[in-house]
């Protein structure tokens, strides 16, 4: 039981990371080329930021965002509507035992980065960050 718990704490395996990256690149290429014949999907320029694989490699969660973040819900709906065709196009050249189920989520990384940037621009936060650390050990060279 302890071994199972430890494997969950470690994060994704190398295989999960490799398969996720291969799927991310493949999905990006399919979307860039416009291989899916859906005008609603093809009018969006969609960035695939990351693909996370489940432990058993049966589910691939793709974190996506249309360029500029505009019409994100519409782009997400188009991706979800075309999931079977996207799944087929992506796994065509891959040698996996199972074709993973594709799940699409909006990538909120950029929103969090903007929030963090705004936080660091706040005068009070900047003052705290730039203040000398009273708990830091003194350097012998300063004496």
| CA 40, chain centre distance (Å) | 23
Q: Is residue 139 part of a domain?
A: no
Per-residue pLDDT reduced to its tens digit, 5-55: 444 567 889 999 999 999 999 999 999 999 999 999 999 999 999 999 999
Cα–Cα distance for residue pair 71/106, rounded to 1 Å: 11
Q: What is the mean pLDDT of residues 44-73?
A: 92
Confidence (pTM): 0.70
- Assess whether pLDDT exceeds 60 at residue 123: yes
Q: Is residue 81 part of a domain?
A: yes
CATH of the domain at 10: 3.30.300.20
Cα–Cα distance for residue pair 57/60, rounded to 1 Å: 7
Which of 34-43, 96-105, 111-120 shows the lowest per-residue confidence on average (mean pLDDT)? 111-120
With cut-offs at 50, 70 and 90, classify the pLDDT of residue 98: confident
Q: Is residue 74 part of a domain?
A: yes
* Helix (H) or strand (E) segment spanning residue 81: helix 72-81
The number of domains in the chain is 1
Q: Is residue 54 part of a domain?
A: yes
Domain containing 108: what range? 2-130
Cα–Cα distance for residue pair 76/70, rounded to 1 Å: 11
């Amino acid at each position: 039981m302890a071994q199972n718990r430890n494997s969950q704490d470690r994060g994704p395996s190398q295989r999960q990371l490799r398969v996720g990256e291969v799927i991310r690149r493949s999905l990006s290429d399919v979307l860039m080329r416009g291989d899916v014949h859906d005008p609603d999907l093809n009018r969006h320029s969609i960035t695939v930021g990351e693909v996370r694989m489940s432990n058993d490699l049966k589910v691939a969660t793709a974190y996506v965002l249309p360029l500029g973040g505009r019409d994100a819900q519409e782009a997400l709906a188009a991706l979800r509507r075309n999931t079977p065709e996207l799944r087929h196009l992506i796994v065509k050249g891959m040698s996996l035992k199972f074709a993973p189920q594709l799940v699409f989520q909006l990538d909120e990384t950029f929103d969090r980065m903007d929030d963090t940037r705004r936080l660091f621009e706040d005068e009070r936060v900047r003052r705290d960050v730039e203040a000398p650390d009273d708990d830091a050990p003194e350097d012998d060279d300063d004496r």
